[in-house]
Chains A and B, each alone.
Chain A
Amino acid sequence: MSIVSETTHDGAVAVSAPPSPDDGLSAAELAKKYGLAVSGARPGLAEYARQLWERRHFIVAFSRAKLTAQYSQAKLGQVWQVATPLLNAVVYFFIFGVLMGAHGSMSRSTYIPFLVTGVFVFTFTQSSALAGVRAIAGNLGLVRALHFPRAALPVSFALQQLQQLLYSMIVLALLLVGFGHMPGPSWLLILPTLTLQFVFNTGLALILARMGSKTPDLAQLLPFVLRTWMYASGVMYSLADQLKKAHAPHWLIDVLGANPAAVYIDLMRFSLIDGFGANKLPPHVWALAGGWALLLGVGGFVYFWKAEERYGRG
């Protein structure tokens, strides 16, 4: 089979011999003389950010494609986007609300939304981390086939998780209303909370993507780290109450309460649940939420960019 067939020449054609003044120049000197650039070199940080911005449509399209591809084989199709978190919430309702009935000082109508909010918000960070660690390692084929700023992949996966969370938020809103927590102005706090958490998650995904590209074993280790993190973030119980009951030192309560997952979860509970007042929030909660987002967002981007030219090596 002939792939390319063009007869621009007959028989032997003289190969373009290098012009004589270039003889004796090294490859690097030759490249400099004719203004050639190193192929696949890492651009500057600002230029890299610009290139990434230029690919924003690809990032969005890729994340949406991944999201829809998830359920495209199912008969109910995209209904599962909402049905999956709904079933999750139902399971939690039966186990913790009906069977165990252990909600500490909270009433049931506060505890169920408290629990489901915690699970959904933590899942958002958890799945961004899990997708991030495989973002490069699991897409080497794409990395070795096409040119684009590699940060597009972890950012795109984080964005996919954000869209997933928005479906979960629909379920959460129904549940809240069902338990008598009516929408109020405080619900508007969802927007800054989610924005900050998304920036935090994206930074986390970028960091893990670089680490996972060098050491794919992290994908096996990460679920255990994340589960530990979940227990330390008060997803299913009020962390402060439990620690006080165990007579934990005060500084430990402060430190665990300041961890980013706990901060974003508590802010979300504060915005949505009537019985969850400002007294349950750690001190300087917005500064913590913004600080974590800034630290991971900027730090993660720079950290990822530093290895940009090496991701193809795997």
Chain B
Amino acid sequence: MYKRQALNRIVRRKPSAGAREVHAVKGVSFTAYRGEAIGLIGSNGSGKSTLLKAIAGLLPAERGKVYTDGQPSLLGVNAALMNDLTGEKNVMLGGLAMGMSREQIRERYQDIVDFSGINEKGDFITLPMRTYSSGMAARLRFSIAAAKDHDVLMIDEALATGDRAFQKRSEARIRELRKEAGTVFLVSHNNKSIRDTCDRVLWLERGELLMDGPTDEVVRAYEKETAR
């Protein structure tokens, strides 16, 4: 009997009793304007990253809609890269995955490699990525991701990895990207970087929009809440 029910659910595409459906974001509604830099804050699992993916159209909402002008894109290319390929091939693959043309990638290839600093200690770009240290791999991933311009740029926290020198460079690059992009969303647990970057903040908690307003006001309320 139980088996038949399970089969029925598979056939009829009903959510199974075993796998609960969890709504990571519920009933969030807001309007973002061109030129705004919007921060998303909230505790772990509050739905920040899910909201970001929903805005980008990558994880479509079950109910409701997201309207955008231009294609919002997440800054990040990690999922397209393969550890068994050389850095060189990964630059090409990552660029193509982000929708760049081969000519564009060739044009920017040297910039990407120079920016990552992979070749500072020898010819590492022709080695498979699995031979890189975690810092080196993270630097190359960021360099590839940051090579493309975006309409609506969405940045998930902890992007700027690597040593101090590389962090400085990547911060500067994100500033450049932000200037080119119309609207910026930033997810971060670092209130300082939210304050530095954003003029408006959405505070999410348990998937619901708790507060939406000027950075100072929202971050102060958030800090008060988390300090307790």
Contacts and interface: CB of A to CB of B under 8 A. Distances in A.
Nearest to A59: B96
Interface in A72-92: 72-73
Interface in A254-279: none
Contact of B193 (A5, A11, A16, A141): A5
A60 to B, nearest CB: 9
A226 B173 CA distance: 51
B45 interface: no
A134 B90 CA distance: 22
B82 A58 contact: no
A12 B218 CA distance: 11
Contact of B192 (A2, A9, A35, A58): A2
What size tier do the contact residues of chain B reach? 35 or more
B58 A40 contact: yes
B72 A39 contact: yes
Contacts of A62: 80, 93, 96-97
Given A2-B192, A38-B67, A214 B13 contact: yes
A150 to B, nearest CB: 11
A72 B67 CA distance: 44
Nearest to A13: B199
Contact of A145 (B68, B77, B101): B77
Contacts of B102: 57
Given A37-B69, A147-B57, A3 B214 contact: no
B210 interface: no
Contacts of B227: none
Interface string A40-69: 110000000000000101100110011011
Interface stretch (A23-31, A176-184, A230-238, A280-288): A23-31
B53 interface: yes
A65 B85 contact: yes
A146 to B, nearest CB: 5
A143 B79 CA distance: 9
B214 A13 contact: yes
Nearest to A58: B96
A225 interface: no
B93 A4 contact: no
A310 B60 contact: yes
A65 B217 CA distance: 49
B45 to A, nearest CB: 17
A245 interface: no
A139 to B, nearest CB: 8
A15 interface: yes
A4 B171 contact: yes
B158 interface: yes
A4 B60 contact: no
Nearest to A51: B99
Contacts of B66: 38-40
A142 B72 contact: no
A307 to B, nearest CB: 11
Interface in B129-172: 155, 157-160, 167, 171
B76 interface: yes
A73 B72 CA distance: 37
Contact of A3 (B59, B76, B190, B199): B190
Interface of B: 10, 13, 29, 31, 33, 35-36, 53-60, 62, 65-69, 71-74, 76-80, 82, 84-85, 89, 92-93, 96-99, 101-102, 128, 155, 157-160, 167, 171, 174-175, 178, 186, 188, 190, 192-193, 196-197, 199-200, 213-217
25 contacts: A2-B190, A3-B158, A3-B186, A4-B171, A15-B214, A16-B35, A16-B36, A27-B65, A34-B69, A37-B68, A38-B57, A38-B65, A39-B57, A39-B68, A39-B71, A55-B96, A65-B82, A69-B84, A72-B128, A144-B59, A144-B79, A146-B99, A147-B73, A312-B58, A312-B60
Given A142-B79, A145-B77, A312-B53, 13 more contacts: A1-B190, A3-B158, A6-B178, A16-B36, A16-B200, A39-B71, A139-B79, A145-B58, A146-B98, A215-B10, A215-B13, A217-B10, A309-B57
What are the nearest 4 A-B pairs in CB distance? A40-B57, A31-B67, A39-B57, A69-B84
